[in-house]
Structure 1
Amino acid sequence: MEYDTYAPVGYDRYAPVEHDTYTSVEHDTYAPAYELQPARLPRQHAGAAADTGGGVGAAGGRAEARRAARRREGAERPDALRRLVPQALVVAFLAGGTSAFVASDKAVKLSVDGVPRTMHTFADDVTELLEDEGVEVGAHDLVAPGPGAELASGDEVVVRYGRPVALTLDGQRRRVWTTARTVEGALRQFGVRAEGAYLSASRSLEIGRAGLTLDVRTERAVTFMADGRERTIRTNAATVGEALAEAGISLRGQDTTSAPPGSFPRDGQTITVMRIRGTREVREEPIAFDVVRTEDPSLFKGTEVVVRAGEQGSRWVTYFVRTVNGVRQQPRRIAEEIAREPVARWVKVGTKEKPTSVAGADGLDWDGLAHCESGGRPAAVDATGNYGGLYQFDTQTWQALGGSGRPQEASASEQTFRAKKLYVQRGASPWPHCGGRLRG
């Protein structure tokens, strides 16, 4: 899963920093050297001679004692001066060092993940302070002021550790980072509107350094069109089916929705409820028969003789007919059963070459007769429908002459051939109006 990098708003060194509320007593446990009492110089004692004698015997003895006392006093003065001068120098040195010490030492406040403490430090910048305190920061952690910023006494440095969050927001999953320590704070950082939303964790739940998994479904407006009515609800449901139940709409039988019931309902989405009713219909349908053709050399070419008539079969077909919101859909075939098998038609097909001449009729003007009877059209049929072809045969006469079917369905050469045969049998009488054309 990809990581989204969350970059929190930077802090101004002098801007106020919000912290979580803690009850703590801040006190300085570090006492710098310049606050110690200065060492006292050793007290100088003038040694006095102990008078161990009982009394002074003579004047010479008393004078000698006075001279000895003066000699001792003269000897002690240089020693006292020699001891005083170095100690004075040490005091002066300590006074200058204390001034430099005071200038480098800073009193700062360091807050690490909401835990504040006040300290004295000689660090020049934020980076050095964090190193001195053993505080390690990474790419997703927040440091304010930023690393490298100079420190001054009274400054406050804030460190907030980044925490990974596996966030599923309205069905979209992603991995993000936050420096907030609670779910509510993280939602504010992510800009997620939590009012009316479903949260898989409590808002007050603390987020550890290891992070957490959080599912958030914000409140959305969804419109349902069902049973001729429109209903709009606000919901944080995870599926269309859940939102449908919240709207008080139930599905029965084969009912469904325009959006899959398991899909995530989007804000502003309109979903249609489809009431489906299904019935079965059984219909009898015909089965066409086959035509079996066999060649017969005894029949002229173009002649077909039906040996056995064909018969249609039938089947029972079951259809499922569905209506959606009262509108009938295309029936769907779901089963069939043969009720009666079809019977094939058998037909003989002639292969014999047709004769083209008939003795006693070949020299006549058959084209003139055809033009008079039918206008020279082989498929012509008279107004009554009883006569057809070039020579206007009736069907009974045609078949008596060996023709099959109807005369207008035969070729022009076969019609002329059978007309010649008719002429040999009956002369020109079959054509009382046009028969004279045969002689020219």
Structure 2
Amino acid sequence: MSGLVPGHIVEGSLVPFPLAHAVRRTSKTVRLVAGGTCLAAVVGGTVAFTALDKDVTVDADGQRTQASAFGGTVADVLENQGISVGEHDIVAPAADTEITDGQTIVVRYGRQLTLTVDGETKTYWTTAQTVDAALADLDVRADGAKLSASRSEPLGRQGLALDVTTPKAVTLVADGQTRQVTSTAADVNALLAENGVTVREGDELSHAGADRLVAGATVTVVRVDRSTSTEQVPLAHGSRTERTDALFQGEKKVVTAGVDGSKTVTYADVFRDGVRAEHTATGEVVDVAPVEEVVQVGTKAKPKPVVAAAPAAPVASGGGGGGSVGGGADGLNWSALAACESGGNPSIVSASGKYHGLYQFSVQTWRAVGGSGLPSQASAGEQTYRAKLLYQRAGAGQWPVCGKKL
């Protein structure tokens, strides 16, 4: 019976042609017998037909269809219903299963799902009929994620390309603020847009705008401003030397005084987040030119000096007298001073070797008043004469202890 089509009787299958033909040529009795035999055959065939017919339900992606079949397999039923299945489809029970009366055959068509999660694309086959069911089947964690299609959108047999962007914790630094945000933005541009941050031309961005956003990233916007400024800068004057025989060697004369000038310098300034980061000179204009200093240096040889002979110091003894120097010094008691300072000994030298003679001259002081050699080697008269000269210059303070004896 496998060649039978449900609901259709193949001609000659129940009543053979020779038997029917014979019935027309018999007597009434024979016709009755023949008729009875024919009736029995028809009734028997009907019972057999009914026994072979099976009612099944075909559920194809939720569309249920009732069908009758004269035995066979699940594959036969699907073929009779015009349902073809591929390698990614699911049929239950299996296609080679013998059907039974009242059976439900379930067909679930496979759909190709091209799934891109945070920029990583993979292709799957699923029999889920909605986006949400497909994500659940594939164990994709999409809580709080941004989807390119509604979760309830039907997943047709033509398949679907679905983008999923998961929430990411990132740091956004812009305009003096540091914000910790959780975003489902696909890229840096989208992150900036959803946080109201506009990047101007010339601003600096730590990532390219099209860069995909990754968890833990720090996205920084640096505001860049450009301007020009000017500064007054002094110009130091130079100096030049001229040699001249109008001056003796070692002599100098400034013939032109030097004067500093000034200039205006223009700068290109770059500010990053309000702080000047670049200050580049781009041009300058001299406002006041500096005046060079000119100095003349003598080249003329100096004449040799004429040395006048020093007057001979008068000779005196015991610290008294000495040559006259004029003024009140001549009338002072120089003998008393000599007695106090040196005991009246013109050749005495202090224990330290620093002070000499009647008036305990230091060599330096002695020479300052015109003496030569050592004071203790000069005559008493010369020592008194030099002491008077010293008094005229500095007073009795030169002898802090004995000066009062004068």
TM range (shorter): 0.3 to 0.5
**TM-score, normalised by the number of residues in structure 1:** 0.41
Larger CA Rg, structure 1 vs 2: 2
Q: What TM-score comes out, normalization by structure 2 length? A: 0.44
